[in-house]
């Protein structure tokens, strides 16, 4: 027998959406429990006003420095990050997308990420760099190559950040990274597929679609991911948003 199930999701006394799904009776209890518990987690962990904002954090603590592993040529970090921020804002047309700026990873030894975009159980870390024309790629050690020559830059810390988030979030979450390249001058650009499958390069004109393709458009907001990202943003800070004990619960649904 097949049932029509209407599941209404409430947050702080307000209806924020509903799903209509055809389910077979053995799955009914599991499906309902999973969605209700995720909605409860959101209510317990995250104030409604934070969900409504959808933009979180700031770039104030992302400092331009010669020690940064990815460095732009002829343009400041603030300017190139602002360009990327203006582009990723287009992703807010997807209802479940949240965007974070200046996100500190769970490992304090790693640098903050300029942008992070999350939807459902997907998390995309976004770094930005401005470089001249060339054929770009990375080697097995994360070193950045232009036309086959090492240019003194690295994506190794970004890859370490991806893997640290993978360990911090439940196993069904998908974490990846996109390096957005803004051309300093017109010319020919090409990318060699990196040996690390978690990372991809994208020209600025193609970045939004690349990030969009990595997002889980139809999943409800992950309470675990949202709470962890909020704790790492510079305008709230982990001290202001400690993760309560309920944040450490794991369900088979991986929310």
Q: Are residues 189 and 156 in the same domain?
A: yes
> Considering the entire predicted model, what is its pTM?
0.78
Percent pLDDT > 90 in the chain is 53
Beta bridge partners of 14: 11
Task: Inform me whether the pLDDT recorded for 59 exceeds 60.
Answer: yes
Considering the domain boundaries, does residue 250 fall inside one? Answer: no
Report the pLDDT averaged over residues 66-70.
87
Q: Are residues 113 and 229 in the same domain?
A: yes
Report the pLDDT averaged over residues 229-250.
51
Considering the domain boundaries, does residue 251 fall inside one? Answer: no
Tokens 């343009």 map to which residue?
75
Band of residue 18 on the pLDDT scale cut at 50, 70, 90: very low
Considering the domain boundaries, does residue 94 fall inside one? Answer: yes
Q: Are residues 183 and 70 in the same domain?
A: yes
Q: Are residues 219 and 143 in the same domain?
A: yes
Element (H, E) at 208: helix 204-213
Task: Inform me whether the pLDDT recorded for 13 exceeds 50.
Answer: no
CB neighbour burial string for 35-74, b if at least 16 within 10 angstroms, e if fewer: bebbbebbbebbeeebbeeeebbebeebeeeeebbbbbee
Considering the domain boundaries, does residue 7 fall inside one? Answer: yes
pLDDT at 12: 46
- Tally of structural domains, the chain: 2
Residue of higher predicted confidence among 44 and 130: 130
Q: Are residues 67 and 38 in the same domain?
A: no
Considering the domain boundaries, does residue 22 fall inside one? Answer: yes
Q: Are residues 173 and 66 in the same domain?
A: yes
Q: Which domain holds residue 21?
A: 2-45
Task: Inform me whether the pLDDT recorded for 249 exceeds 50.
Answer: no
Q: Are residues 166 and 182 in the same domain?
A: yes
Report the pLDDT averaged over residues 77-106.
94
Rounded distance between C-alpha atoms, residue 83 and residue 75, angstroms? 11
Q: Are residues 30 and 148 in the same domain?
A: no
Q: Are residues 61 and 184 in the same domain?
A: yes
Q: Are residues 121 and 186 in the same domain?
A: yes
Task: Inform me whether the pLDDT recorded for 7 exceeds 90.
Answer: no
Instruction: Write out pLDDT tens, residues 111-137.
Output: 999 999 999 999 999 999 999 999 999
Q: Are residues 131 and 58 in the same domain?
A: yes
Q: Are residues 6 and 128 in the same domain?
A: no
């Amino acid at each position: 027998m097949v049932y029509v199930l209407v599941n209404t999701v409430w947050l702080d006394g307000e209806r924020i959406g509903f799903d209509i799904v055809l389910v077979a009776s053995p799955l009914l209890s599991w499906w309902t429990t999973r969605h209700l518990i995720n909605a409860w987690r959101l209510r317990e962990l995250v104030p409604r006003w934070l969900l409504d904002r959808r933009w979180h954090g700031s770039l104030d603590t992302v400092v331009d420095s010669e020690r940064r592993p990815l460095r732009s040529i002829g343009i400041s970090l603030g300017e190139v990050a602002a360009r990327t921020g203006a582009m990723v804002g287009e992703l807010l047309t997807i209802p479940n997308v949240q965007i974070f700026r200046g996100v500190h990873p769970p490992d304090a030894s790693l640098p903050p990420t300029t942008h992070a975009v999350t939807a459902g159980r997907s998390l995309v870390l976004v770094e930005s760099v401005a470089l001249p024309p060339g054929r770009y790629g990375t080697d097995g050690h994360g070193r950045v190559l232009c036309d086959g020559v090492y240019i003194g830059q690295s994506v190794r810390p970004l890859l370490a950040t991806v893997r640290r988030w993978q360990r911090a979030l439940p196993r069904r979450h998908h974490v990846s990274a996109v390096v957005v390249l803004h051309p300093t001058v017109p010319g020919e650009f090409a990318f060699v597929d990196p040996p690390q499958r978690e990372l991809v390069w994208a020209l600025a004109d193609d970045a939004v679609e690349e990030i969009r393709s990595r997002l889980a458009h139809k999943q409800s907001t992950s309470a675990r991911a949202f709470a962890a990202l909020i704790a790492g943003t510079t305008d709230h800070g982990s001290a202001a948003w400690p993760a309560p004990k309920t944040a450490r619960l794991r369900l088979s649904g991986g929310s």
